[in-house]
Amino acid sequence: MKSNPIIESMLNRKSIRKYTEEMPTDEVIHTVVCAGQQAPFASQLCSVILSRKKGVPFGAPLLFTICVDLHRMELIMRKRGWQTVTNDLSMLFFGIQDASLLAENMVNAAESLGMGSCFLGAAPYNADKIARKYKLPARVFPLVQLVMGYPAEDPPSRPRYPISFTLFEDEYPNLGGAEVEQAMKQMDDGYLAQNYYRKGKIMIHLEGGREENYTYEDYSWTEHISRKWGQWYQSPEELLGQLSKRGFKVEILDQGESKAGG
Ligand SMILES: Cc1cc2nc3c(=O)[nH]c(=O)nc-3n(C[C@H](O)[C@H](O)[C@H](O)COP(=O)(O)O)c2cc1C
């Protein structure tokens, strides 16, 4: 594999969940956010709220809330005499694309300046609460939060799927059992070797009276992630409700129902 300082920094990055108390300077913070903004964009449908208050998860000095932001675009459009007719699901997708790229650029910029970071993914489920806290206008939706600061831990890089399970050339392969098992093994052996779940005392509880047969000897990533998506968030209603409160019209139409003109 090729190597240079940027690749090295990206390959060495890991989520940091312990921070020193050192507060990054304004210059450092602005550099990180400018690098974030310089990510490719579809429409700059994203904005960032910074909070330096105490009580940030993992003791981090900085908490960024990265939002899908249609508000500013609509202010600009209004000045030009336009109104959005694009449906909100499309706008949401473009916003998620923009916000994700900005967020990851911030992660890499932070890394290059000796800082660490960790995403917090629950923001969409707490959108209303976050919106009230930061006085977000309608049409601004908190997509993800990012804690950042100087690391007080140096965990190992976490495992990833083999590249052959991620990169497919020209056509998506017919994945047989052997490839799936190889990918599972790479993930599970990798996390077990790092004692990740035992150290963090992380094990998703089995619901519905299912019997627990795992211990920290064999509980690893593929079981963990299967329990997540096999048990949680069955109904889209909670998220649709949060979107609706933020002024995004993303509805599931009843069968047979269709929107006028669409
Ligand atoms: C969208 C997103 C949401 C995440 N949410 C959380 C979270 O709520 N809590 C947490 O500790 N880590 C969270 N993470 C960090 C992941 O757990 C972490 O990136 C993953 O385990 C891989 O580890 P690494 O970042 O150290 O390579 C999140 C990451 C992403 C990209």
Give pLDDT tens digits along the chain (262 positions).
999 999 999 999 999 999 999 999 999 999 999 999 999 999 999 999 999 988 999 999 999 999 999 999 999 999 999 999 999 999 999 999 999 999 999 999 999 999 999 999 999 999 999 999 999 999 999 999 999 999 999 999 999 999 999 999 999 999 989 999 999 999 999 999 999 999 999 999 999 999 999 999 999 999 999 999 999 999 999 999 999 999 999 986 666 555 444 3
Q: Please provide residue 63's backbone torsions phi and psi, each rounded to the nearest 5 degrees.
A: -130, 115
Neighbours of 28 (CB within 10 A): 18
CA distances from 254 to 177, 235, 257, 258, 259 (A): 38, 15, 5, 8, 11
* 115 contacts 24 by C-beta, under 8 angstroms: yes
Q: Please provide residue 102's backbone torsions phi and psi, each rounded to the nearest 5 degrees.
A: -60, -45
Q: What is the pLDDT of residue 200?
A: 95
Q: Is residue 66 classed as helix, strand or coil in its secondary structure?
A: strand
Alpha helices in the chain (DSSP H): 5-12, 26-37, 71-79, 88-112, 127-134, 177-193, 196-199, 221-231, 237-245
For ligand 1, atom 31, name the residue with the nearest CA.
119
For ligand 1, atom 14, name the residue with the nearest CA.
119
For ligand 1, atom 29, name the residue with the nearest CA.
119
Task: Return the ∠ at Cα 54 (arms to 98 and 45), rounded to 5°.
Answer: 10
Distance (Å) from CA 60 to ligand 1 centroid: 15
Distance (Å) from CA 254 to ligand 1 centroid: 35
* 36 contacts 107 by C-beta, under 8 angstroms: no
* 103 contacts 69 by C-beta, under 8 angstroms: no
Q: Is residue 9 classed as helix, strand or coil in its secondary structure?
A: helix
For ligand 1, atom 2, name the residue with the nearest CA.
121
Distance (Å) from CA 77 to ligand 1 centroid: 36
Q: What is the pLDDT of residue 260?
A: 45
Q: What is the pLDDT of residue 257?
A: 53
Token look-up 């017919």 returns 174
d(CA 13, CA 187): 17
Q: Ligand 1 pocket check: which of 18, 106, 118, 229 to mutate, most ligand atoms within 8 Å of Cβ?
A: 118
* 12 contacts 82 by C-beta, under 8 angstroms: no
Token look-up 């310089």 returns 38
Q: What is the DSSP letter of 19?
A: B
Q: Please provide residue 176's backbone torsions phi and psi, each rounded to the nearest 5 degrees.
A: -90, 180
Q: What is the pLDDT of residue 53?
A: 81
d(CA 89, CA 110): 31
Residues touching ligand 1 (Cβ under 6 Å) are 14-15, 17, 118-122, 144, 158
Distance (Å) from CA 224 to ligand 1 centroid: 13
Distance (Å) from CA 34 to ligand 1 centroid: 23
For ligand 1, atom 9, name the residue with the nearest CA.
120
Q: What is the pLDDT of residue 262?
A: 37
d(CA 26, CA 32): 10
Distance (Å) from CA 79 to ligand 1 centroid: 39
Q: Ligand 1 pocket check: which of 64, 120, 153 to mutate, most ligand atoms within 8 Å of Cβ?
A: 120
Distance (Å) from CA 45 to ligand 1 centroid: 23
Of residues 16, 260, 243, 233, the one with CA closest to residue 127:
243
* 67 contacts 136 by C-beta, under 8 angstroms: yes
The structure's pTM equals 0.95
